[in-house]
């Protein structure tokens, strides 16, 4: 299980810089990593429907009347980064707006699957650790090395690490079932 310090050090090693002993230390390396960390972590979590970041929840409608197009409003969980699916609703049967709200015409309660904001690095699978560390390296490279060339090399390595992490994640669990949309079901009937 990797720690935040392990991920920072892997990124710093890829950049060719000194390692840190703690994210809270007062060094240029720790500061660069800390400045980029939350954005990079969240960006990587929504980059792919990672199995380890999948969360299921049921929600009841609020009493607030949504805008003209929709009938019901639902508040999304505070740790929701991206809604993946709303059970029993077509993809065009709902809409996420204004950060934490979902609108639809279903009186609910609704069941949804979403990407959770995973903050515990110990929950990251090994390939994701490598991918997020390489992405962090891309973000901090120019600041620490003043070299665009190094950053370009790291971008290629980060892309490779992301592909490997996606493949490893895809081998976990059963294959995803594709739901037929309204057009397909109308055509088949």
Question: Are residues 108 and 136 located together in one domain of the fold?
Answer: no
Q: Which of 103, 118, 133 is the last residue of a domain?
A: 118
Question: Are residues 90 and 34 located together in one domain of the fold?
Answer: no
Query: pLDDT digit string (tens) for 9-42?
Result: 999 999 999 899 999 999 999 999 999 999 999 9
Residue 96: give the domain boundaries.
Answer: 51-118
The DSSP 8-state label assigned to residue 152 in this structure reads H
DSSP string, 21-66: S-TTSSSHHHHHHHHHHHHHHHHHHHSS--GGGEEEEEE---SS--
Distance CA 109, CA 139 (A): 41
pTM for the full model?
A: 0.83
Question: Are residues 142 and 166 located together in one domain of the fold?
Answer: yes
Contacts of 144 (CB under 8 A, 6+ apart): 12, 15, 17, 28, 29, 32
Query: pLDDT digit string (tens) for 138-185?
Result: 999 998 988 888 899 999 999 999 999 999 998 886 666 676 677 767
């Amino acid at each position: 299980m990797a720690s935040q310090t392990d991920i920072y050090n892997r990124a710093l090693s890829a950049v060719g810089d000194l390692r840190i002993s703690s994210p809270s230390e007062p060094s240029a390396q720790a500061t660069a990593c800390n400045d980029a960390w939350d954005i990079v972590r969240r960006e990587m979590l929504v980059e792919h429907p990672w199995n380890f970041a999948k969360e299921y929840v049921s929600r009841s409608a609020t009493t607030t009347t949504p805008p003209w197009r929709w009938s019901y409003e639902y508040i999304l969980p505070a740790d929701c980064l991206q809604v993946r699916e709303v059970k029993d609703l077509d993809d065009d049967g709902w809409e996420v707006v204004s950060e934490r709200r979902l609108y639809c015409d279903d009186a609910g309660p609704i069941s949804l699957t979403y990407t959770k904001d995973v903050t515990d690095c110990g929950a990251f699978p090994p390939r994701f650790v490598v991918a997020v560390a390489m992405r962090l390296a891309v973000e901090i490279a120019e600041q620490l090395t003043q070299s665009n060339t190094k950053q370009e090399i790291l971008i290629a390595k980060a892309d490779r690490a992301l592909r490997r992490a996606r493949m490893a994640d895809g081998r976990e669990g059963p294959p995803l079932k594709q739901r037929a949309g309204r057009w397909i079901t109308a055509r088949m009937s």
